Amino acid sequence: MSAQGKLAIYWAASCGGCEISILTLNEKILDVAAAFDIVFCPCLMDTKVRDIEALPDGTIDVCLFNGAIRTSEQEYMAKLLRQKSKVLVAFGSCAHEGCIPGLANLTNRQEVFETVYCDSVSTDNRGRVIPLPETRVNGFHLTLPVFYDTVRTLGQTVAVDYYLPGCPPEAPRIWDAVVAILENKLPPPGSVIGAQTTVCDECPRTRNEKKIRSFKRTWQIIPDADTCLLEQGLVCSGPATRAGCEARCPQVHSPCIGCYGPNAGVEDFGARLMSALASVIDANEPEEIERIIQEGIPDPVGTFYRFSLPHSLLRRAARVPDAERHELPLPKPAQ
């Protein structure tokens, strides 16, 4: 890579937390600014998409792309930035696995629209107006991106070179990735850039033999400060979750919620967590095991696939016709 590689940072369906996490590199952000020519970052700089469209293919050395793909516009931007970038990194949980907004795959566009625009207690919409891809207002023609039925990850939309996990990725891990890029020490393409261990391996809490007779919800007990939270009956996602955060949540007495995604070699986060929990239940009768799970884990899909539903083997609640999905043409190569 040239001394000053070109860097783009883009967001699709996301919350902005990935950008804030980049800013928590603090003084190292100046090193990033010195090492790269930041060509595109709508959150912090005045550059527009047309400038990117005008670039020759492959001009951008590294694109950090956060956010999932939910609309036609996001799909277009994913394709555009793929074409313009040598290395495309799915940055953060949304681009990697779908994240919390991916829980929308438990429902569909119609239900979302009805809830938000029609049935909300504070919405006055007797005419049941909903946003449309094309509208005419007093003769003015306005368009909106098409809202898809299904949230997709970046990797389900375009070819991705690397994945950086976390909601959001913690600053030290972002820096590790930047250093790997600058020193050209990246793992094989298609890899997750991160640790190969679990949150449990980083967690300072004491672990004994686990025997769970019932799972507790976080509001039902005050856990002690030093013992493994799972041992105390709290559903902690640590055993299934990739390390990288230094077990931050367990350190404030809160169970890991799994934001760093599945550990290395794990295909499906929920399946891994379920088997980890099953192995600590102190019961043999299937009815007893079922009772323990039903009482303590009233929302299995939301618990086991909190961050990873679109990326999981399940992907979504039920197959639905996807006729509204407009396949957009690839951006035209620059002249």
Partner 1 sequence: MSTRRISIDPVTRLEGHGKIDIFLTDEGDVAEAFLQIPELRGFERFCVGRPAEDMPNLTSRICGVCPEAHHLASAKALDALFHVDPPPTAKKLRELFYCIFYATDHTTHFYALGGPDFVVGPDAPKEERNILGVIKKVGMEIAGRVLKMRAEGHHLIEMIGGRKVHPNWALPGGVSRGLTEEQRQEIEARGREAVEFARFSMQLFNQIVLGNREYVNLVTSDAYTHRTYNMGMVDVRNRVNFYDGTIRIVGPDGREYARYPAKDYADHVAEHVEPWSYLKFPYLKKIGWKGFVDGEESGVYKATPLSRLNAADGMATPLAQEEYERMYDALGGKPVHYTLATHWARLIEMLYAAERWVELATDPEITGPDYRVLPTQTPDEGVGCVEAPRGTLTHHYWTDARGILTRMNLVVGTTNNYAPISLSIKKAAQNLIRRGTVVTEALLNRVEMAFRAYDPCFGCATHYLPGQMPLTVIIRAADGTVLQRVGRAGPPAT
Smaller CB separation from partner 1, 138 or 184: 138
Smaller CB separation from partner 1, 29 or 266: 29
Q: Least Å distance between CB 1 and partner 1? A: 21
On whether the CB atoms of residues 98 and 68 are closer than 8 A, the answer is: yes
Q: Does 59 bind partner 1 (CB under 8 A)?
A: no
Position among 17, 155, 244, 331 found at the interface with partner 1 (CB under 8 A): 17
Q: Does 325 bind partner 1 (CB under 8 A)?
A: no
On whether the CB atoms of residues 52 and 301 are closer than 8 A, the answer is: no
Strand 134-137 to strand 140-143: parallel, antiparallel, or no bridges (unpaired)? antiparallel
Q: Does 330 bind partner 1 (CB under 8 A)?
A: no
Smaller CB separation from partner 1, 21 or 211: 21
Provide the CB-side half-sphere exposure for 267 (13 A, CA). Answer: 3
Q: How many CB atoms lie within 10 A of CB 89?
A: 24
The rounded distance, in Å, linking the Cα atoms of 269 and 244 is 16
Binding to partner 1 (CB under 8 A) within 272-311 occurs at 298-299, 302-303, 306
Binding to partner 1 (CB under 8 A) within 64-123 occurs at 67, 70-71, 73-74, 76-77, 99-101, 103-104, 106-107, 111-112, 115-117, 120-123
| Beta-bridge partner residues of 198 | 242
Smaller CB separation from partner 1, 19 or 161: 19
Q: Does 4 bind partner 1 (CB under 8 A)?
A: no
Written as six digits, the tokens of 145 are 């991106």
Smaller CB separation from partner 1, 211 or 217: 217
Q: Least Å distance between CB 241 and partner 1? A: 13
On whether the CB atoms of residues 206 and 228 are closer than 8 A, the answer is: yes
The rounded distance, in Å, linking the Cα atoms of 16 and 38 is 18
Q: Least Å distance between CB 152 and partner 1? A: 14
DSSP secondary structure of 29-45:
HHHHHHHEEEEE-TTTS
Position among 160, 167, 181, 199 found at the interface with partner 1 (CB under 8 A): 167
Smaller CB separation from partner 1, 4 or 191: 4
Residues for the chain: how many in total? Answer: 335
On whether the CB atoms of residues 207 and 200 are closer than 8 A, the answer is: yes
Pick the piece of the chain touching partner 1 (CB under 8 A) from 242-250, 270-278, 279-287, 322-330: 242-250
Q: How many CB atoms lie within 10 A of CB 109?
A: 17
